[in-house]
Structure 1
Amino acid sequence: MTYRRRIQVEFNHCDPAGIVFYPRYFEMLNSVIENFFADVLAYPFTRIHVEEKCAVPTVQIDAGFQAVSRLGEMLEFTLEVQHVGRSSARLAQRATAGGQVKLQCTSTLVWVTPDGRAAPWPEAIRQKMIAFMEANDGA
């Protein structure tokens, strides 16, 4: 299964030439992940960070930039779960506009407790990520 979210390139995303400044892509990627947790996993970042005092930091990221994105473009982001481990998960994301790939990214997130240590995913999250990933395998 694939999660989709559209983000329009705004002035605050761009450098003076009107193209996306690459660190802003990472903010957009994180926004897609945050919305995936809320919309699909029903486990919003507010619950994770504020209520439970835990976190899901990115511990590894590999990104490739295929084409520039310009002010006003509507980017279609997709997210797929590639692997779910005991305390980590690998996600694949892509951003396209007008049928052209702009960015591809693979990132690994880890569940971290308030003391800053990796720990097993809460079952409510882990089971939904696995179900989402397996639904993609059957597509």
Structure 2
Amino acid sequence: MPNIHHMPIEIGFKHCDPAGIVFYPRYAEMLHDTVEHWFNHGLKIGFNYLHTTRNMGIPMVNLQVDFRIPSRLGDVLDSQLVVKKLGRTSMQMLVRICSPDNDVRVEGRLTVVFASLGKISSVEIPEDFKALILPYVHESAEA
């Protein structure tokens, strides 16, 4: 069974509008935070290492988000990341932000491209990175 990366999210005041409901742009930050958390804790490829030692970045080139159920101040959610497709230079991920009952509150489909920071151009995903990513590939993950 492929791996799923989990990241807890506590909905704080900073996430909410005056009504205490998560302001929708904050979800884009949560989706990015999940990807960065996965790199740091799941893959053990820290963003500092990625950027400074390997001179690479993973800019997002596509983001599609479905907002299903509102979240409120004080909610504790579980962000779940799987890889839908691992290409030569890009990767498509599915991130679901869920309630404790596993109801999907928000679903994001993200595509990132591996890029050289020096040349500002796409590069092939390094083999050592692919080996770490492969256990998270869920080809049957629905979007």
User: TM (normalized to structure 1)?
Assistant: 0.91
1:77-117 CA-to-partner distances (Å, cap 9, x unmatched) read 10011110111001001011142221011111110102210
Percent sequence identity over aligned pairs = 31
1:49 maps to what in 2?
Answer: 51
Q: Is 1:5 aligned to 2:7, yes or no?
A: yes
Corresponding letter in the other structure for 1:13: H
CA distance in structure 1 between the aligned counterparts of 2:66 and 2:121, rounded to whole angstroms: 29
Corresponding letter in the other structure for 1:108: T
CA distance in structure 1 between the aligned counterparts of 2:127 and 2:71, rounded to whole angstroms: 38
Query: Superposition pairs for residues 1-139 of structure 1, below 5 Å?
Result: 1-99=3-101, 100-114=103-117, 115-133=119-137
Q: Report how many aligned residue pairs link the two structures.
A: 136
Corresponding letter in the other structure for 1:113: S
Structure number with higher helix proportion: 1
Deviates more, 1:90-99 or 1:73-82: 90-99
1:4-38 CA-to-partner distances (Å, cap 9, x unmatched) read 11110010011111111111111111111101011
CA distance in structure 1 between the aligned counterparts of 2:52 and 2:104, rounded to whole angstroms: 35
Structure 1 ranges of 4+ moved more than 6 A: none
CA drift at 1:40: 1.9
Deviates more, 1:38-47 or 1:62-71: 38-47
